[in-house]
Chains A and B, each alone.
Chain A
Amino acid sequence: MNKRVTLTIAKIEHETKDIKTFTFYHKLDARPGQFIMLTDFEGGEKPFSISDCTENEFSVTVKKIGEFTTRLFSKREGDLMSFRGAYGSSFFISNTKVLLVGGGYGVPPLYFLAKRLLKAGAEVVVVNGARTEEDLLFDDKFKELNIKYINITEKGDLGKKGTSVSIAKKLLQNQLVPKPQLGNNNHPQAGAWGRENREKFDFLYAAGPEKMMKNLQKFTGDITYEFLLERYMKCAIGICGNCTVDPLGIRLCVEGPVLHKKLVEQLTEFGKYHRDASGKRIGF
């Protein structure tokens, strides 16, 4: 049994105009990719990925989307909240060379992951993409880590236009093509992704919009990957069936939200549809 914990909000950080990070002083036994169910008992209990977790505190990063999160945004440090968890599957902690690809609001759990990977001795490359510079999450936090970090926006207000997938594609394809010849400027891998930037990844992790991951999947080749998926969750303990994914019937709150390549590849609904609070199928 997972005991419910009710405690005060220790810290609130403004990440962007509609995203805040809430930190609680509590020793939470959580692994990267797991989530908690958060409520104020005023109507609404929602799952949030853990964006950071240290010895005595943990954080969740919340986007203002609906009624519950709007109310959450009016809370102040010192206000009480209640949570249960951590629930769900977690990312494999590799100690090799790994690539983390995040998009938009999906990025925060990858920060927690990056920290744990570094601790395990992995060589970490993070690609963080967003619509605009303003929407880019955890930019400063990632820059403080001992990782190779690439940020990119669709608007191009950081210099180049692109998406996390367009960057990841280059990084991943780079390891699949022959070594570019020096001086051969016509080679597709010449230039920005020249010889010294060649990457060879053993593991790929991604979190973000499902369309983004669906797109990223095309460039994964033989590399092993894990994706963090989202579905409408109610019970979070694997009985209500609202978050089962087709056709496997696995529960994203128990067997997920982190799914291994072998499972993702079998999902017919991946990138296509999900189910709403009533269980009705909704296209992405």
Chain B
Amino acid sequence: MYNRLKTKFLGIEVKSPLVLPAGIMDMSFSGLDISARNGAGMVTSKSLTLEPRSGHKGPVIAEFESGLLNSMGLCNPGIVDGLAEIDEFKERSDTPVIVSVFANNTQDFIKITNRVNDSKADFLELNLSCPNVYDEFGIPLAASKNKVYEIVNAVKRDSELPVIAKLSPNVLNIIDIATAAEKAGADALCLINTVGPGMLIDIKMVKPVLFPKFGGLSGPCIKPVALKLIYQTYSAVNIPIIGMGGVTDGEDAIEMIMAGAILVGVGTAVYYRGIEVFNKINKEIIQFMDESGYSLLEEIPRLEKLENATQTSDL
């Protein structure tokens, strides 16, 4: 049945367009593996940094009526141990893996890239858009087209793997940023990271619920924002897009594809529908294809691109 969901991403065949995004179930080889076994066509590691990070003090996550708010704080075992987990995953699975990495400057990105070159990962994703380390590192790199260009360009020179730039929704003009990444040589784009950041308050104790005060918003409520930004980006660039943000069921995934995504990330939906969510959405995509008369995923049409997309301001 799933043969119908096969697709190609940067020359590599994936069994399903669904991707486990960075930050979800990806601390260990076994977390990646259970996601792949449950129907994810591709998996992404936790964003790895040069040194291990314990992340923020809790509460780092809050459930609320319309989604989740999180500020994990880039916890990860560091590039060495993180890549060892990925290699262990690759020993037991043929599912392609994206290694997500985070650094605050070009030099560290280069150091990390060289480590990744020696791993069994298939793609390198640059997390330019973590919204939760503002206190430590300032405004996310993805907010500046010059920074995005500089880092992607430098990493591309050293990387033996295709490079994906993960972009933030929290920018004035997504097209400026996306085209900067493309010009710098990015092989693909991944968007969106969490929205906001936002906050919640405990009204009895008069305290922010998250200890870091602010956190990135995810879940069904961000889907319209994601669709709009993916559609604008799709209209302006010629490189493939991994689209994500609030995808919870098959119809959401179809919307992402129609907006221009080649692959679709499913993250917070693991909270709503369990780790089986990937297979559930795979089935729902096929159900939609049956109902609409599409025999293969690639037959699903895209929206017509925006005219003059590069001139369209987000404001």
Which residues of A come within 8 Å of B, CB atoms?
A: 1-4, 6-7, 37, 39-46, 80, 82, 84, 234-242, 244-251, 254, 275-281
Please determine whether A41 and B271 come into contact, CB atoms closer than 8 angstroms: no
In whole angstroms, how far apart are the Cα atoms of A41 and B65 in the complex?
Answer: 20
Residue numbers in B under 8 Å from A247 (CB-CB): 29-30, 33, 92
Residue numbers in A under 8 Å from B61 (CB-CB): 234-237, 239-240
Would you give the shortest CB distance from A275 to chain B, in whole angstroms? Answer: 7
B58 interface hit (Cβ, 8 Å):
yes
Identify the 5 closest CB pairs spanning chains A and B, nearest first.
Answer: A249-B34, A45-B58, A249-B30, A41-B207, A277-B54
With A82-B202, A235-B60 as known contacts, state yes or no: A279 contacts B77, CB within 8 Å.
yes
In whole angstroms, how far apart are the Cα atoms of A165 and B28 in the complex?
Answer: 31
Q: Which of B34, B52, B72, B267 contacts A234 (CB 8 A)?
A: B72
Residue numbers in B under 8 Å from A281 (CB-CB): 77, 81
Would you give the shortest CB distance from B267 to chain A, in whole angstroms? Answer: 7
Q: List 16 A-B contacts (CB under 8 A).
A: A2-B63, A4-B202, A41-B59, A45-B211, A234-B60, A234-B61, A237-B63, A241-B28, A242-B75, A247-B33, A249-B30, A249-B275, A251-B275, A275-B28, A276-B54, A277-B54
Closest to A276 in B: B54
Closest to B26 in A: A241
In whole angstroms, how far apart are the Cα atoms of A187 and B291 in the complex?
Answer: 73
Please determine whether A41 and B30 come into contact, CB atoms closer than 8 angstroms: no
The residues in B between 254 and 291 inclusive whose CB is less than 8 angstroms from any CB of A are 267-268, 270-271, 274-275
Residue numbers in A under 8 Å from B30 (CB-CB): 244-249
Residue numbers in B under 8 Å from A45 (CB-CB): 57-60, 211
Would you give the shortest CB distance from B272 to chain A, in whole angstroms? Answer: 9
B166 interface hit (Cβ, 8 Å):
no
In whole angstroms, how far apart are the Cα atoms of A276 and B77 in the complex?
Answer: 9
Residue numbers in B under 8 Å from A42 (CB-CB): 207, 211
Residue numbers in A under 8 Å from B63 (CB-CB): 1-4, 84, 237
Please determine whether B58 and A275 come into contact, CB atoms closer than 8 angstroms: no
Residue numbers in A under 8 Å from B65 (CB-CB): 1
Q: Which of B53, B59, B68, B202 has the most CB of A within 10 A?
A: B59
Please determine whether A43 and B211 come into contact, CB atoms closer than 8 angstroms: yes
- Count: A-B pairs, CB below 8 Å: 150
B31 interface hit (Cβ, 8 Å):
yes
Which residues of B come within 8 Å of A, CB atoms?
A: 23-35, 37, 46, 52-55, 57-65, 68, 70, 72, 75-78, 81-82, 85, 92, 202, 204-205, 207-209, 211, 267-268, 270-271, 274-275
With A41-B202, A241-B28 as known contacts, state yes or no: A249 contacts B33, CB within 8 Å.
yes
Closest to B81 in A: A280
With A41-B205, A241-B24, A248-B34 as known contacts, state yes or no: A4 contacts B62, CB within 8 Å.
yes
Closest to B66 in A: A1
Please determine whether B211 and A246 come into contact, CB atoms closer than 8 angstroms: no
Residue numbers in A under 8 Å from B33 (CB-CB): 247, 249
Residue numbers in A under 8 Å from B211 (CB-CB): 39, 41-45
Please determine whether A6 and B60 come into contact, CB atoms closer than 8 angstroms: no
Please determine whether B59 and A239 come into contact, CB atoms closer than 8 angstroms: no
Please determine whether B205 and A278 come into contact, CB atoms closer than 8 angstroms: no
Q: Which of A238, A275, A277 has the most CB of B within 10 A?
A: A277
Residue numbers in A under 8 Å from B57 (CB-CB): 43-45
Please determine whether A244 and B59 come into contact, CB atoms closer than 8 angstroms: no
Please determine whether A239 and B34 come into contact, CB atoms closer than 8 angstroms: no
Closest to B67 in A: A1
Known: A7-B204, A244-B27, A247-B92. 20 other contacts (CB 8 A): A6-B205, A37-B59, A44-B58, A46-B58, A82-B204, A234-B61, A238-B25, A238-B270, A240-B27, A240-B72, A241-B28, A245-B30, A249-B33, A249-B35, A250-B34, A251-B25, A275-B27, A276-B54, A278-B54, A279-B75
Closest to A84 in B: B63
Please determine whether B28 and A246 come into contact, CB atoms closer than 8 angstroms: yes
Would you give the shortest CB distance from B284 to chain A, in whole angstroms? Answer: 20
Residue numbers in A under 8 Å from B34 (CB-CB): 244, 248-250
Q: Which of A41, A82, A281 has the most CB of B within 10 A?
A: A41
Please determine whether B25 and A244 come into contact, CB atoms closer than 8 angstroms: yes
Residue numbers in A under 8 Å from B92 (CB-CB): 247
In whole angstroms, how far apart are the Cα atoms of A4 and B204 in the complex?
Answer: 11
Would you give the shortest CB distance from A97 to chain B, in whole angstroms? Answer: 35
Residue numbers in A under 8 Å from B64 (CB-CB): 1
In whole angstroms, how far apart are the Cα atoms of A237 and B270 in the complex?
Answer: 9
Q: Which of B27, B58, B61 has the most CB of A within 10 A?
A: B58
Residue numbers in A under 8 Å from B53 (CB-CB): 278
In whole angstroms, how far apart are the Cα atoms of A182 and B307 in the complex?
Answer: 96
Q: Which of A236, A248, A249, A276 has the most CB of B within 10 A?
A: A249
Would you give the shortest CB distance from B40 to chain A, in whole angstroms? Answer: 12
Closest to B63 in A: A1
In whole angstroms, how far apart are the Cα atoms of A239 and B216 in the complex?
Answer: 14
Please determine whether B202 and A249 come into contact, CB atoms closer than 8 angstroms: no
Please determine whether A39 and B54 come into contact, CB atoms closer than 8 angstroms: no
In whole angstroms, how far apart are the Cα atoms of A239 and B54 in the complex?
Answer: 17
In whole angstroms, how far apart are the Cα atoms of A4 and B31 in the complex?
Answer: 27
Please determine whether B54 and A41 come into contact, CB atoms closer than 8 angstroms: no
In whole angstroms, how far apart are the Cα atoms of A277 and B57 in the complex?
Answer: 10
Residue numbers in A under 8 Å from B275 (CB-CB): 238, 249, 251
Q: Which of A37, A43, A238, A244 has the most CB of B within 10 A?
A: A244
Would you give the shortest CB distance from B174 to chain A, in whole angstroms? Answer: 26
